[in-house]
A and B are shown apart, each in its own frame.
Chain A
Amino acid sequence: MIESVLRATLLGLQLGMTLALIAAGLTLIFGMLDVINFAHGALYMLGAYFGTVVAGQLGSFWLALVLAPLMVGLVGAAIEIFSLRPLYDRNPLYHILLTFGVAIMIQGAIIEIWGAQSMQIPVPDLLSGSVSVGPVNYPVYWLFVLAVSTLLIAVVWLAIERSDLGILMRASAHDTEMVSALGIDVSKVFTGVFVFGAVLAGVAGVLLGGSRSVHPGMGFGIIIETFIVVVIGGLGSFRGAVYAALLIGLVTAYGALIAPTLTDLFLFAMMAIVLMAKPSGLFGATEAA
Chain B
Amino acid sequence: MKSVVELFGRSQSSQTGDQLLSSRGRLAVLVAVGALALFAPIADAYEPFWLNMLVRMMIFALLALSLDFVFGYAGLLSFGHAAMFGAGGYAAAMLISEVTANALVVLPAAMVVGAVVAGIIGWFSVRARGIYFAMLTLAFAQLFYVMAFTDLPATILGVESFTGGDNGLYGIQRYALFGVDFTPTLVYFYLTLAAVALSFVALLRLSNSPFGRVLQGIRENEERVQFLGYDVRRYKVLGFALSGAFAGLAGGLYVPFQSVSHPGLLHWMISGELVVMLLLGGLGTLWGPMLGAALVVFLEEQLAGFASWEIVLGGIFVVVVIFAPRGLAGAIISVRDDPTNVATNAKRAIRNYIDKVRR
Q: Taking beta carbons and an 8 Å cutoff, which residues of A are in contact with B?
A: 36, 38, 81-83, 85-87, 89-94, 96-98, 100-109, 111-112, 187, 220, 224, 227-228, 231, 235, 261-262, 264-265, 268-269, 271-272, 275-276, 279
Query: Looking across the interface, which residue of chain A has its beta carbon closest to that of B128?
Result: A279
Taking CB atoms, residues of chain B closer than 8 Å to A90 are 8, 11, 325
CA distance A227 to B137 in the complex (A): 13
Interface string of B300-339 (1 = CB under 8 A from A): 0000000111111111111001100100000000000000
Q: Does B229 contact A (CB under 8 A)?
A: no
A90-B11, A101-B321 known; A262 vs B150 contact (CB < 8 Å): yes
Residues of B within 8 A of A261 (CB): 150, 152
Q: Report the count of interface residues on B (CB-CB < 8 A).
A: 48
Name the one of B315, B321, B352 contacting A105, with C-beta atoms under 8 angstroms: B315
Q: How far is the CA of A83 from the CA of B142 in the complex (A)?
A: 29
14 more A-B contacts (CB under 8 A) besides A85-B356, A268-B139?
A38-B272, A87-B321, A90-B11, A101-B315, A101-B318, A103-B314, A105-B310, A108-B309, A231-B135, A265-B146, A268-B142, A275-B132, A276-B127, A279-B127
The residue on B at minimum CB distance from A81 is B357
* CB pairs A–B below 8 angstroms (7 shown): A101-B321, A104-B310, A108-B310, A108-B313, A265-B146, A268-B139, A276-B128
Q: Interface on B for A, CB 8 Å cutoff? A: 8-9, 11-12, 77, 124, 127-129, 131-132, 135-136, 138-140, 142-143, 146-147, 150, 152, 268-269, 272, 275-276, 279, 307-318, 321-322, 325, 352-353, 356-357, 359
Select one of A86, A93, A104, A276 contacting B322, CB under 8 A. Answer: A86
Q: What chain B residues lie within 8 Å of A107 (beta carbons)?
A: 310, 314
Chain A hits for B132, CB < 8 A: 275, 279
In the complex, the chain B residue whose C-beta lies closest to that of A186 is B359
* A271 with B152, Cβ < 8 A, contacts A86-B353, A86-B356, A108-B311 known: no
Check B143–A97 contact: CB distance below 8 A: no
CB B326 to nearest CB in A, in angstroms, measures: 11
* Majority secondary structure, B binding face: helix
Q: Are B317 and A101 in contact (CB under 8 A)?
A: yes
Query: Would you give the shortest CB distance from B117 to chain A, in whole angstroms?
Result: 15
A-B pairs with lowest CB-CB distance, top 8: A108-B310, A101-B317, A105-B314, A104-B314, A86-B356, A108-B311, A279-B132, A272-B139
CB of B322 within 8 A of CB of A108, answer no
Tell which of B12, B77, B314 has the most Cβ of chain A within 10 Å. B314
Among B152, B272, B307, B352, point to the contact of A100 (Cβ < 8 A). Answer: B272
Bound complex: CA of A215 vs CA of B32, how far in Å? 43
Closest to B355 in A: A86
Asked if A91 and B12 make an inter-chain contact with CB atoms under 8 angstroms apart, the answer reads: yes
B143 in contact with A268 (CB, 8 Å): yes
Known A104-B310, A105-B315; contact A82-B357, beta-carbon cutoff 8 A:
yes
Q: Roughly how many angstroms separate A225 CA and B322 CA in the complex, as a whole number? A: 28
State the Cβ distance, A91 to closest chain B Cβ, in Å: 4
Highest count of chain A CB atoms <10 Å: which of B8, B136, B276, B318: B318
Distance A111 CA – B309 CA, assembled complex (angstroms): 10
Distance of A261 from chain B, by nearest CB (Å) = 5
Residue with the greatest number of chain B CB neighbours at <10 A, chosen from A103, A105, A227, A231: A105
CA distance A82 to B325 in the complex (A): 16
Chain B residues whose CB sits within 8 angstroms of the CB of A94 once the complex forms: 279, 321, 325
How far apart sit A265 and B142, CA to CA, in the bound complex (Å)? 8
CA–CA, A262 and B318, complex, Å:
36
Distance in angstroms between the alpha carbons of A145 and B146 in the assembled complex: 29
A114 CB, min distance to chain B CBs, angstroms:
12
**Measured between C-beta atoms, what is the minimum distance from B303 to chain A in Å?**
10
Asked if B322 contacts A265 (CB within 8 A), the reply is no
Contact of A97 among B135, B146, B279 (CB under 8 A): B279
| A53 to B127 CA separation, bound complex (whole angstroms) | 47
Query: A262 to chain B: which residues have CB within 8 Å?
Result: 150, 152
Assess A272 versus B136: contact at CB under 8 Å? Given A85-B359, A87-B322, A97-B321.
Answer: yes
CA distance A104 to B309 in the complex (A): 10
Q: Nearest chain-A residue to B13 (Cβ)?
A: A91
Q: Which residues of B contact A276 (CB under 8 A)?
A: 124, 127-128, 136
Please give, as numbers and ranges, the residues of chain A lying within 8 Å of B146 by CB-CB distance: 264-265, 268
Chain A residues within an 8 Å CB radius of B275: 96-97, 100
**Contacting residues, chain B, for A83 (C-beta < 8 A):** 318, 322
Q: Once the chains are docked, how many angstroms separate the CA of A269 from the CA of B152?
A: 14
Which residues of chain A come closer than 8 Å to B272, judged between CB atoms?
38, 100
Q: How many angstroms from the CA of A86 to the CA of B322 in the assembled complex?
A: 7
Closest-by-CB residue of A relative to B141 is: A268
Q: Given the complex, which residues of B lie within 8 Å of A89, measured CB to CB?
A: 8-9, 11
Measured between C-beta atoms, what is the minimum distance from B255 to chain A in Å?
23
Q: Is the CB of A265 within 8 A of B325?
A: no
- Considering only CB atoms, which chain A residue lies closest to B357 in the complex? A85
Residues of A within 8 A of B143 (CB): 265, 268-269, 272
B9: nearest residue on chain A (CB-CB)? A89
Given contacts A97-B279, A269-B143, contact A275 B356 (CB under 8 A): no
Cα distance, A273 to B278, chains bound together (Å): 29
